Amino acid sequence: MLTMTNLEGCYGRSRALTGVCLTVPKGQITGIMGRNGTGKTTLLKTIMGLTDNTQGTITLDGKDISAAPSHMRARAGIAYVPQGRGIIPDFTVRENIVMGGFANRSGRRAVPEKLAELFPYLTANLDRPGGLLSGGQQQQLAIARALAAEPDVVLLDEPNEGIQPSVVEDIERVILRMSREFGLTVVLVEQNIGFLRRAASTFAIMEKGRVAQTGRVEDLTDAIVDRHMTI
């Protein structure tokens, strides 16, 4: 579904990714791990076309999108949920969700029906300003906005960071359903190793802007985690 070959991404003149090669299986969750500052967020931004001077190749379902601008990558079927959520606080819940629909290839500009089951609080409060939601509710809103684009691939950057435990469980259930019920391909940056082991099929560990190790999640041993994640 999504393949990166010799991928490099920069911020200005500072190179943040070097020679990244990674294949993300279709319809599965791939967990991206690593210490802080190793390039995990940069990888997602580079996939989305949000870094400078990108080199290498990115293919989506066999189509080269390396030169495509960000909005065309979104229209091609990639949705991105960044750290910090990126919702518009003065927009209502409805407006934030519908904003995601502008990348929808069908042209649909509405709140998808399936969101009522996934996010009952949001759909019961569609006219509430996004800025008045709790942090966990804003994270749910960011995911709902991404799903409104009806993507094939969803990039999630630490969706549970700083979220209250009760909402974390709800978000984790939604992520699992994205893959298992909706057949979406998910690239998940996640520091919670327990959840990653439960959710992901494959993993990649980043170190100094490179992919240091990949594999099936059942091969993600404690020794590997300690080697690459312990500070």
pLDDT in tens, 26-69: 999 999 999 999 999 999 999 999 998 788 999 999 999 999 99
Q: Are 145 and 177 in contact (CB under 8 A)?
A: no
What are the structural domains of the chain? 2-83+150-229 (3.40.50.300)
pLDDT in tens, 150-194: 999 999 999 988 888 888 999 999 999 999 999 999 999 999 999
The pLDDT assigned to 12 comes to 80
Residue 100 has pLDDT above 70, yes or no: yes
The token pair at 45 is 């931004």
Q: Are 89 and 137 in contact (CB under 8 A)?
A: no
φ and ψ of 157, to 5 deg: -105, 100
Residue 15 banded pLDDT, cuts 50, 70, 90: confident
Percent of the chain with pLDDT over 90: 79
Residue 103 has pLDDT above 90, yes or no: no
In b/e form, how buried is each residue of 119-131, taking b as 16+ CB within 10 angstroms?
bebbbebeebbbe
Reported pTM? 0.94
**Angle at CA 118, nearest 5°, toward 115 and 120?**
80
Nearest to 137 by CA among 158, 124, 119: 119
Amino acid identity, position 15: R
Q: Where are the alpha helices (DSSP H) in 48-181?
A: 70-76, 93-100, 115-118, 120-124, 135-147, 165-180
The pLDDT assigned to 165 comes to 86
Residue 109 has pLDDT above 80, yes or no: no
pLDDT in tens, 19-37: 999 999 999 999 999 999 9
Q: How many angstroms separate the CA atoms of 110 and 94, rounded?
A: 8
The pLDDT assigned to 231 comes to 67
